[in-house]
A and B are shown apart, each in its own frame.
Chain A
């Protein structure tokens, strides 16, 4: 019988070499969705040079562009134009060719005589975990939840919430939502249990299902609302972005209209960790980015939420902020970013991280600049300027 007679030290060296070879093959693909089309940026192994592929769908409003991590080649793009209704485009060859969904997300037809809702645009796309190949979720404006079981070719209303009278009341009207329409976003599937779901609505609060979406319940405890409104009423809650930590799926972070929060399950009480941010910067913003391997580390990108809500960088000096201890303390990360007169900001889907070591961070601005950091935010560099207003940035890994 053959025996492995290599010494442990030799085997360890071989294993390290294999890991290094695998790491050298890893490439980051940055997916940029804008108000006027989509762009793909292919990075080299060092994440120093980027090959641009685009525009795709020039003139289309692309709200979200996502790579299916389960096959590494299928892309879904949530699209509409100024004139035309919403749709979803699908590519199975990394954007070389696109085909439109046969049945894009659409609400059920209302009974005769009743005003039904129509999807204005699909806003958010979430692939399910590996245990559910082909399953995707979509959140729309106005607020609706949809699911596809065939990789995004056909979509159906999901759960009862789209037509549930209580949920409809919490969703409010178009006037109760964000300036370009109320949205359902931050659809999260627990990687350990596909029946455990979260989503958020602006406005309408954060909601959880433990029965595969048959029923949902709000999770609002600890969250602030605008002064004078009732905290117990979901309709007054405006979560901007919720993220679940891959390294600890019992921990979620939230950037809200009224602060930054952490939730450690099974507790249902959010803790406002944004109070520890510098007072002159505050804890208002849109994106929330979690570290792929460290549940104590997250990044936010604050904006000016004072007076009339300018939605610009505070004092014209943009910066990311990171905590490495679950929100006890925050560190300003602005090296390489403009030091003055930079009045852009970053939307809720427009900041993300890759899973390399050290983690790469990426964000797109309302003024059409794409920035990245190869060292977890210590130093920033601009990859691209002069794009249209950036709505979403995703980082995917190609091997």
Chain B
């Protein structure tokens, strides 16, 4: 599926859009990390929580649960939320 990458993470992907697969959001992020090592830990902490200033949307809806099921046609958008100056 298509995953849109924010500018702060393009040092990993070198592009604004990546392809990843998985039956859940967690699996998609794991797949993304396999392609771009290190990218997951910058978004998800060691307790599997989405970091404070990261937001993830699936088909326009914000998702907070990594176990959210996904299908191949879904679109995942990773966003950097406001974090101050």
Give chain A's interface residues, CB within 8 Å of chain B.
81-85, 87, 100-102, 104, 106-110, 115-119
CB-defined contacts of A102 to chain B, threshold 8 Å: 37-38
Q: State the majority secondary structure of interface residues on A.
A: loop
CB-defined contacts of B44 to chain A, threshold 8 Å: 85
Is the Cβ of B53 less than 8 Å from the Cβ of A82?
yes
Which of B8, B38, B45 is the one whose CB lies under 8 Å from A83? B8
Which of B9, B41, B47 is the one whose CB lies under 8 Å from A110? B47
Additional A-B contact list (12), CB under 8 Å, known A87-B42, A109-B48: A81-B8, A82-B53, A83-B51, A83-B81, A84-B54, A85-B42, A106-B41, A106-B45, A109-B47, A110-B47, A116-B47, A118-B49
Is the Cβ of B47 less than 8 Å from the Cβ of A84?
no
Is the Cβ of A83 less than 8 Å from the Cβ of B80?
yes
Is the Cβ of A85 less than 8 Å from the Cβ of B47?
no
CB-defined contacts of A84 to chain B, threshold 8 Å: 8-9, 42-43, 51, 53-54, 80
- Taking the closest CB of chain A, its distance from the CB of B33, in whole angstroms, is 11
Complex Cα gap A84–B81 (Å): 10
Is the C-beta of B83 less than 8 angstroms from some C-beta in chain A?
yes
- Taking the closest CB of chain B, its distance from the CB of A225, in whole angstroms, is 32
Is the C-beta of B61 less than 8 angstroms from some C-beta in chain A?
no
Complex Cα gap A117–B45 (Å): 9
CB-defined contacts of B83 to chain A, threshold 8 Å: 82-83
Give the size range of B's interface with the partner.
Answer: 20 to 34
Select from chain B the residue with minimum beta-carbon distance to A100. B38
Select from chain B the residue with minimum beta-carbon distance to A117. B47
- Taking the closest CB of chain A, its distance from the CB of B46, in whole angstroms, is 4
Is the Cβ of A83 less than 8 Å from the Cβ of B54?
yes
Complex Cα gap A306–B6 (Å): 44
Is the C-beta of B60 less than 8 angstroms from some C-beta in chain A?
no
CB-defined contacts of A106 to chain B, threshold 8 Å: 41, 45-46
Is the Cβ of B84 less than 8 Å from the Cβ of A82?
yes
Complex Cα gap A109–B45 (Å): 10
CB-defined contacts of B43 to chain A, threshold 8 Å: 84-85
A85 touching B37 in the complex, CB below 8 Å, given contacts A107-B46, A118-B45, A119-B46: no
Complex Cα gap A116–B44 (Å): 13
Complex Cα gap A214–B22 (Å): 41
- Taking the closest CB of chain B, its distance from the CB of A204, in whole angstroms, is 21
- Taking the closest CB of chain A, its distance from the CB of B80, in whole angstroms, is 4
Is the Cβ of B84 less than 8 Å from the Cβ of A118?
no
- Taking the closest CB of chain B, its distance from the CB of A366, in whole angstroms, is 15
A85 touching B84 in the complex, CB below 8 Å, given contacts A100-B38, A116-B46, A118-B45: no
Select from chain B the residue with minimum beta-carbon distance to A106. B46
CB-defined contacts of A85 to chain B, threshold 8 Å: 41-45, 51
Select from chain B the residue with minimum beta-carbon distance to A105. B46
Across the A-B interface, the 4 shortest Cβ-Cβ residue pairs:
A82-B83, A118-B45, A83-B80, A106-B46
A118 touching B46 in the complex, CB below 8 Å, given contacts A84-B8, A84-B9, A106-B41: yes
CB-defined contacts of A83 to chain B, threshold 8 Å: 6, 8, 51, 53-54, 80-81, 83
Select from chain A the residue with minimum beta-carbon distance to B40. A85
Q: List 20 A-B contacts (CB under 8 A).
A: A81-B8, A82-B84, A83-B81, A84-B51, A84-B53, A85-B42, A85-B43, A87-B38, A87-B41, A100-B38, A104-B41, A106-B45, A107-B47, A108-B46, A109-B47, A110-B47, A116-B46, A116-B47, A118-B45, A119-B45
Complex Cα gap A195–B9 (Å): 39
